[in-house]
Amino acid sequence: MSTFTALDVQDVRFPTSRSLDGSDAMNPDPDYSAAYLTLRTDAEDAGTALVFTIGRGNDVQSAAIAALAPHLVGRDVEEVLADLGGMYRELTDDSQLRWLGPEKGVMTMAIGAVVNALWDLRARREGRPLWLTLASMSPEELLDLVDLRYLEDALTRQEALEILRRGAEGKEQRITALRENGVPAYTTTPGWIGYSDEKLTRLLTEAREDGFEMVKLKVGADAADDERRMRIAREVMGPGYPIAIDANQRWGTEEAITAVRALAPHDPYWIEEPTFPDDVLAHAAIRTGIHPVRVATGEQGSNRVLFKQLLQAGAIDVLQADATRVAGVNENLAILLLAKKFDVPVCPHAGGVGLCEMVQHLAFLDAVAIGGEDERRRIEFVDHLHEHFEVPVRIERGAYMPPQEPGGGARMHPASIEDHLFPDGPVWAEEQAPLAPTPAR
């Protein structure tokens, strides 16, 4: 028997804007950050999760997570962990908190953090990585985690159960195959918009040498730059090599169609976030207008109802789930089921702080127990900030290899947290030094 004793939140920020790592057409100067949650018990263990943000507002996100403490502190741990479907619904159905969305934005990401921390703790207590904790559940147990409200015009309970039952057939063989081969990654490391052509060329070459079979470039700030960089990338990587492009919501519908058509001679594999993520009808129009270039979106998709509509409208070829944008593992499970129903591959969004470490569990679960074998499935990879995590991702021959260690992947080294606490950690104290007068020596 144990009890939740505290819900601690820390504001952790990395000064990534110094190096233009992570720069794109909409986000020129991100400071990759984490609203970092530790959910403690009197058994001296804890569940960990984080919400990824890009700097300012990480304090607001932290306050939103802290506001959920009354739902957990003092509760029986075993009882909560035994019914994570019930706990997820308790949090999302808190009618007073729901008003702040509904089911979107800061409060939903906060709920996602709590849900993910509970899953981390449950996996740790089972001694398993999160993907295996989930993959070990029966179809009925998995279905009970999902909230099908507002989805049943696209996915009935019976259809969801059938998907999960089909997913359970041959699961053991797929787990073995996963452990041998992993899930292919693609890398965004070369393609940040602030990098020089020389750096782009060097990093593209390294990506191929490292075994990656797909890369992605940021576009959308300047059409001539986009054309030049895409041309360079095609020359370096050769014909047929998949090169995705990502506009980070920079365009309207007509702009997107014009811009992608202009790059089409260089054979982009997909256009990611061509426009505003909520705009189902625009994505559908863009997809028609740029065929056969694929349309991808989802990293800022606010909830399962948006994904349902993107799928119903035939608006996307690729669904990019994120670990910290929606209400946690449970909502992502609904999204994986919807994608399978519509036969659209899920290629999770990663990068940021700890997203690689977290989203891989969703992709492994999908590969093993929901979507099954699908050569279109790839997980984004960015080679940033992994050194701060207790169990950093393991990439071999261009593929994510499944971790054996227990948990959901979000736990950071204590020293990394302390160094990057905002605004008083040593990294930020240094950062702000130039603003103060230089002391006499």
Among the listed ranges 146-154, 219-227, 359-367, 427-435, the one in contact with a copy of itself (CB under 8 A) is 146-154
Restricting to residues 254-283, name those near a copy of itself by CB under 8 A: 254, 275-282
Contact between 324 and a copy of itself by CB under 8 A: the answer reads no
Restricting to residues 77-136, name those near a copy of itself by CB under 8 A: 94-110
The pattern of x and - marking residues 3 through 22 that bind a copy of itself according to CB under 8 A reads --------------------
User: What HEC string does 89-135 produce?
Assistant: HHHHCCHHHHCCCCCCHHHHHHHHHHHHHHHHHHHHHHCCEHHHHHH
Among 252, 311, 319, smallest CA distance to 284 is for: 311
Contact between 150 and a copy of itself by CB under 8 A: the answer reads yes
Q: How far is the CB of 284 from a copy of itself (least distance, A)?
A: 10
Q: Which is nearer to a copy of itself, 249 or 320 (CB)?
A: 249
Report the b/e string of 393-420 with b at 16+ CB within 10 A: bebeebbbbbbeebbbbbbbeeebbeeb
Find the binder of a copy of itself among 285, 296, 344, 379 (CB under 8 A).
285
Contact between 221 and a copy of itself by CB under 8 A: the answer reads no
Is there a contact between 24 and 193 (Cβ–Cβ < 8 Å)? yes
Among 17, 52, 20, smallest CA distance to 35 is for: 52
Q: 105-126 and 328-341 are packed helices; what angle lies between their axes, rounded to 10 degrees?
A: 100
Q: How far is the CB of 156 from a copy of itself (least distance, A)?
A: 10
Find the binder of a copy of itself among 135, 185, 233, 305 (CB under 8 A).
305
**Which residues participate in catalysis according to the annotation?**
218, 349
Q: How far is the CB of 163 from a copy of itself (least distance, A)?
A: 19
Q: Is 43 exposed, middle or buried (0-12, 13-18, 19+ CB in 10 A)?
A: middle
**Binding-residue total with a copy of itself (CB under 8 A):** 61
- Cα gap 156→148, rounded to integer Å: 8
Q: Could you give the C-alpha distances from 26 to 22, 23, 417, in angstroms and in order? A: 11, 8, 27
Q: Which is nearer to a copy of itself, 57 or 86 (CB)?
A: 57
Single-letter code of the amino acid located at 364: F
Q: How far is the CB of 41 from a copy of itself (least distance, A)?
A: 24
Restricting to residues 375-394, name those near a copy of itself by CB under 8 A: none
Q: Which residues are near a copy of itself by CB under 8 A?
A: 26-31, 53-57, 59-61, 63-64, 67, 94-110, 149-153, 249, 252-254, 275-282, 285, 300, 302-303, 305-306, 308-309, 312-313
